[in-house]
Amino acid sequence: MTSEQRQLRQTLVFLRTSFEAIQHSIAGRLDDPLPCWLDATMLSMLARELNRCCREARPLFAPQAVEQIFLASQQCELLLKQCPGVLSSAVCHRQLAAIILPLTSAIGQVDTPVKRRWPWQRE
């Protein structure tokens, strides 16, 4: 795995973790019928980073992984268009899951770095 691939993979892990943290923060209000008020500025920043990852992934990763990143990006854009205040907490929670799921899939499809072996280690 090249350094560019490794760096992009780490960014994807960061994005997934960020969306999971957002989802976790609203989980306590799932029964609340009031609109979910996400921080649209933070969501915009994550969307820009996800779009950048989508562009950079094309030459670095397999088409299936790129497709999953693109799907996550599209779901994030959809959430951003409806944010803040249009979605209930439950719908927002599901929309965040629609971002997290393809990100998790993409990360799983990306080759993980091979464990380094020292000359004195046995196989």
Q: Is residue 65 part of a domain?
A: yes
Greatest Cα-to-Cα distance within the chain, rounded to the nearest angstrom: 62
Tell me whether residue 63 is in a domain: yes
Is the pLDDT score of 74 beyond 90?
A: yes
When pLDDT is cut at 50, 70 and 90, the band that residue 114 belongs to is low
Full domain range(s) for residue 41? 3-109
How much is the pLDDT for 72?
Answer: 97
CB-count burial class (<10 Å; 0-12, 13-18, 19+) for 98: middle
Q: Is residue 123 part of a domain?
A: no
Q: How confident is the model at residue 120, as a pLDDT?
A: 67
Domain count, the chain: 1
